[in-house]
Amino acid sequence: MRDRLSTGRTEHAPVILAAGAVLWLPGRPKKSGRLGRPRIALIHRPKYDDWSMPKGKLDPGEGPAEAAVREVREETGFRCVLGPELPAQHYPVQGRPKEVRYWAAVPTAGAFRPNREVDRLEWLPAAKARVRLTHDRDRLLVDALLAILGAKPVRTEGFRW
């Protein structure tokens, strides 16, 4: 009940439930044997002309983790394995509250092919991914992934393409 009151949710506006993932790859091995910085998959959605993470609404009877795996496959062409859960996002969409649950995920198979929802996919280092993302809330997901991986936070002040 506290959540409903604090976010302004009402019985007249049911929450839109969605799920997604921050798809990532370890960095390339260095001569020292250490791995380089992780790369993160960002998708471009032409309908919204934005850069984001793969996500989408839950189908009837579908759980959030199941939906996250499905959405990654539909939007990126990659099968994936989910890792730790990342912070959920809450924001309004056309006057309705939306909750998106996210997981860190690694691809296991597949290849990207442009489709009706996503026309581009790019694998970027975290600093470049933070800059490319359209929504500030998605930058928090990059930071959460880096924290889980034990990587140093990235600074993007003054960064230019």
For the chain (length 161 residues), average pLDDT per consecutive 10?
A: 45 88 88 81 97 98 98 98 97 95 97 96 96 97 94 47 30
Third-level CATH fold of 2-25+37-149: Nucleoside Triphosphate Pyrophosphohydrolase (3.90.79)
The pTM assigned to this predicted structure is 0.83
Locate the domains of the chain by residue range: 2-25+37-149
Rounded to whole angstroms, how far apart are CA atoms 151 and 22? 15
Q: What is the pLDDT of residue 152?
A: 58
Torsion of CA 68, 69, 74, 77, to 10 degrees: 130
> pLDDT tens, 80-96?
999 999 999 999 999 99
